[in-house]
Amino acid sequence: MTREPSPSLAKAFRIAYVIGLFICVAWPLLLQLMLGTAIRPGAAPPDGVVQQLGYTFTGLTFASAFFVTWRWSKVRRTFGSLEEARRPGTVIRETILYAALFELSSLYGIVYYALGGPPAERYARSFIALTTVMFFVFVPRFQAWREAAQEERP
């Protein structure tokens, strides 16, 4: 037996997705514009520290993508068994959580630029751009939520 998702699910998804677009698309674009103008680099730390920090930030960025993939898998399995009234809140919570985790990549980019200065600018911009890419790749679309809602779980 399958159930058609309620209209409130679509509304919740639209609200959450717009918030996610602001967090992961509009804000990183603004940060890209501010890099080098409003956001200035500080004094460079000793050699190698910035590079090691960059490796750490790269690992944390990939860890957030793995976490979101794992969490979406877990939520998808249980979403069909949730009562109708709780589904919209789950969609909003999960979408905004995923967007916030991906936004950390932009923060890493700003910190990397602030510490590494102009030589680290292209890597900092890459961290900031990854926020948008990860949002579009990993955040479930409405169709995925609909399919998860239609699956019956005992």
Q: pLDDT (tens digit, 9 = 90+) per residue, 28-65? A: 999 999 987 888 887 777 678 888 999 999 999 999 99
Instruction: Tell me the C-alpha to C-alpha distance, in Å, between residue 87 and each of 1, 5, 62, 92, 127.
Output: 18, 9, 28, 9, 32
Examine residue 1 and state whether it is found in any structural domain, yes or no: no
Please check whether residue 137 lies inside any domain of the structure: yes
Its domain, for residue 135, covers 7-150
d(CA 24, CA 5): 27
> What local confidence, expressed as pLDDT, does residue 117 receive?
84
What average pLDDT does this structure show over 13-30? 97
Residue 34 belongs to some domain of the structure: yes
Q: Does the residue 77 lie in any domain?
A: yes
Question: Considering the domain boundaries, does residue 107 fall inside one?
Answer: yes
How many folded domains does the chain comprise? 1
- Where does the pLDDT of residue 4 fall: very low under 50, low under 70, confident under 90, or very high at 90 and above? low
Q: Is 82 left (phi over 0), alpha (psi -120 to 50) or beta?
A: beta
Confirm whether 56 is domain-assigned.
Answer: yes
Q: How far apart are CA 125 and CA 69, in angstroms?
A: 24
Q: 2 lies in a domain? A: no
Residue type, 46: P
